[in-house]
Structure 1
Amino acid sequence: MITFLANARIIDPESLTEREGNVILDGRLIAAIGSAQAPKHARVIDCGGMALAPGIVDLGVKVGEPGDRHKESFRSAGLAAAAGGVTTIIARPDTNPAIDTPEVLEFVTRRAEAASPVRILHMAALTKGRAGREMTEIGFLLDAGAVAFTDADHVTTDTKVLSRALTYARSLGALVIGHPQDPGLSAGAAVTNGKFASLRGLPGVHPMAERMGFDRDMALVEMTGARYHADQITTARALPALERAKANGLDVTAGISIHHLTLNELDVGDYRTFFKLTPPLRAEEDRLAMVDAVASGLIDIICSMHTPQDEESKRLPFEEAASGAVALETFLPAAMRLYHAGHLTLPQLFRAMALNPARRLGLPQGRMAEGAPADLVLFDPDAPFLLDRATLRSKSRNTPFDGQRMEGKVLATFVGGAQVFGERD
């Protein structure tokens, strides 16, 4: 089918530009940009001057299959992603059991392809059971379709095991994703150290724990030459080390969650567990430093870090409650806060949310160019709404944005040229 998207505000993250124009989708690809007339027999969609951008490539989504399907299934995650403009989910391996063998990877791949309206690719565990004792069969997992390797928030404390895994990953060209935290300092922490944590009587972790974990990982990357991505850099103390690593030619990139870019430690308020995240929310000074780092390109990727938790695991005292928040549907509206505040332009946002994650993983998505996959999101960046978590499509609804006024509404989502969300004709 040929689709003619007319009168669109085209967001191009490669050239960091936006312009008015039309886009033609032919089958699964973008056939033309800027064409004045619709081809014969094409389906015409009037975009009404709304923003048209590459679909979000979300690096680091937790899906409950296998093991926690009651929290999130591939079907519910896919529907939430389509409604949020996410066209490619990069799923984490912190499942039960962990995705640490080719057999488990092949199972979840088949399940995802059958159930989800959007693309779902999978990361595999770096060590067996994410236990940090023995590395997985990285070569076989690559052959089975793993796009990266990570133990998620389980930090490998045995540096010899980690160095061997990095060396082996380097020999195969595999990307390793680390969680830069010192596990000793961060164990049992619920918030970031500071006056607020003391006033609330909550156990905290010093921001230096992130810097220490990152410094260790950079030393091992320098030793092994591995490709490395830090899943979240959230403190200003870690930025100079990241800048040095890049300046020294290490193959290193870094990400951050949309929650750490739009919320701070004070949002925890009176022990609101929907704001309990890993790593914990940081000081406002750190948040602003991270926004500047994204704008400059020092931090490469923004992700949702979507982590569904059921009501029972969140309705507990703050220290005991599970960490994490859902974000597939709120990712884009939350990002619009940065746009409306004047911190980031739409092309800069989609560079970090679509282009850079696709490039880091070697995927063709994330581009607004002829011949690129027709994975697109049409949205109104100015449309206001009041978020009601009861309307979310995720099975779990642990969002920190419940009841908040937001801006940015997805009108249509296309995956491989097929419309998977929206009724705008």
Structure 2
Amino acid sequence: MTGLRLDGLAALRDRTEARLAELVAEAPGAPMTLTNARLVDPAADRVFEGGVVIRDGLIAEVFEGARPGEDCGGRHLAPGIVDIGVKVGEPGERHKESFRTAGAAAAAGGVTTMVTRPDTLPAIDTPETLEFLQRRAVATSPVNVLPMAALTKGRDGREMTEIGFLMDGGAVAFMDGRAVRDTRIFQRCLTYAAGLGALVVGHPQESHLTEGSCATSGQFASQLGLPAVSPLAERIGLERDLALVEATGVRYHADQISTAGALAALARARAAGLKVTAGASIHHLTLNEFDIGDYRTFFKLRPPLRSEDDRMALVEALAAGEIDVVGSFHTPQDEEEKRLPFEEAAPGAVGLETLLPAALQLYHAGHLALPALWRALALNPAKLLGLPAGRLEAGAPADLVLFDPDTPFVLDRATLRSKSKNTPYDLRRMQGRVLATWVGGDRVFTRDAA
């Protein structure tokens, strides 16, 4: 009996010591080590074996080689994605997407920071609506949320918003999500934003030409009988915006470059020393105009899908560093707005959860190495917004994604965590899955073994 009691006490002691070790590991300030990973460092432009030490929500150390810690199984560990241009349905369209569901989709997609658009109902154009958005985001989203605010009141292009007050309230950039038609109003907005050092995100399209269109002009659109717009509309819109940027000196980011014709104008602006950057949608980098051939409305986007020549020009520009940022442009639409004739259906696609596997298509095709891809997904958007994220270095936020770039799967839209399921990648064979995501050192997603 004595021996049995001693054995029981020993077992109890072991369990107690194990629990104490767990409590110490979970205590504030206690370091956590992720080891046996292939680290993707976009700033240093390399992939190497090693790990990171996390303390107080920050990366305390990045090391090469092996150490004791949580084994990442040789999978890739990279900075979390910073996704600029995410649409969330709050306020006004919570039935399409909430901060809770968008945050869950983001975490499952390796997106640790969502930079949200102001095209809500009502628009994010006052400090009060901005404060509401921030409260909702903090209360329900597991990932970081940074809001953009509208450039004009109601996004109607007639009257400038209180840019200074909105900046004080936490707005990181200003956009209407569509072209400001009145050039005089737009110039006034840019002049005021330049004086405050604000970032303006433009949508470079000539709105009169694009109005009513749903496809890119050419023989294919004519065969389909769809109202179409010339790719020239993007170049005209961009040239106007860049002329105003030159006149005002504002910091300007073109949200979605989608045509080859716009790249030359962009290059001239940069050569002239203008403070200009550019982004591209993952859909325009991986799909083309032929994907709308069966009138499937999940492929209806704004701007519309372009030619294969345009797509490849964008991919080459991304590889050359001429396109700075790649985003999902997550735009949830409910079934009722998509289950309509192509011309009448709402444009847009969800993308928070599909951004990474779609972007890895460019890696597997040999167009970009992983560090270059992560510059566009994480480092460059963080730099654009003045964030310390997007880096694997001591002092950076411990916003991380663990992924396997080679895992194959067939995407089933029904499994997406977004409320809306309007993805053009439904039933497509994809390669690359997120295994875990950390935000500020806290694990916010772990993929269940299957």
Same fold (TM over 0.5): yes
Q: Give 1:35 shift.
A: 5.8
Alpha-carbon separation, structure 1, partners of 2:233 and 2:427: 33
Match of 1:45 in 2: 70
> Which one of 248, 254, 266 corresponds to residue 290 of structure 2?
266
2:215–2:289 CA contact under 8 A, matched in 1: yes
Looking at structure 2, the residues matched to 18 and 383 of structure 1 have their Cα atoms a distance apart, in angstroms, of 19
Partners of 1:12 and 1:140 lie apart in 2 by 37
Query: Cα gap change, 1:201/1:423 in structure 2, threshold over 3 Å: closer, same or farther?
Result: closer
Instruction: Give runs of aligned pairs for residues 59-98 of structure 1, distance below 5 A.
Output: 59-98=84-123
Partner of 1:172: 196
Q: Where do 4+ consecutive residues of structure 1 move more than 3 Å?
A: 35-39
Q: CA deviation at 1:16?
A: 1.2
For residue 151 of structure 2, what is the aligned residue in structure 1?
A: 126
Deviates more, 1:11-20 or 1:209-218: 11-20
Shift of 1:37: 6.3
Read off the aligned partner of 2:46 and give its amino acid letter: T
Q: State the one-letter code of the partner of 1:109.
A: Q
Match of 1:358, SS state, is helix
1:346-373 Cα deviation digits (max 9, x unpaired): 1011100000001001111111111110
1:252-331 equivalent positions in 2, closer than 5 A: 252-331=276-355
Provide closer, same or farther for how the CA distance between residues 333 and 163 of structure 1 changes in structure 2, counting only shifts above 3 A. same
Assess if the C-alpha contact under 8 Å between 2:434 and 2:447 holds in 1: no
The answer as to whether partners of 1:221 and 1:250 remain within 8 angstroms in 2 is yes
Residue of structure 1 equivalent to 2:61: 32
- The answer on 1:146 being equivalent to 2:175 is no
SS of the aligned residue for 1:151 comes to coil
- In structure 2, the residue matched to 1:232 is 256
Equivalents in 2 of 1:344, 1:37: separation in Å?
A: 28
- Give the letter for the 2:349 counterpart: A
Alpha-carbon distance in 2 for matches of 1:30, 1:150: 32
- How far the C-alpha of 1:22 sits from its partner, in A, is 1.6
> What is the CA–CA distance in structure 2 between the aligned matches of 1:282 and 1:17, rounded to whole Å?
33
Of 305, 315, 336, 2:360 maps to: 336
Q: Residues 393-404 of structure 1: matches in 2 within 5 Å?
A: 393-404=417-428
Identity, in percent, stands at 67
How far apart in 1 are the matches of 2:215 and 2:47?
39
Tell me which amino acid in the other structure corresponds to 1:390.
A
> Aligned equivalents of 1:316 and 1:423: distance in 2?
35
Larger radius of gyration: 2
Q: Pick from 5, 20, 25 the counterpart of residue 49 of structure 2.
A: 20
TM-score after normalising by structure 2: 0.92
Structure 2 stretches lacking a partner, 5+ long:
1-29
2:216 pairs with one of 171, 192, 197: 192
Q: Deviations over 1:43-78 (max 9, x none)?
A: x32111111110000000000000000000000000
Residues 45 and 424 in structure 1, CA contact (< 8 A), matched pair in contact too: no
Equivalent position SS for 2:438: strand
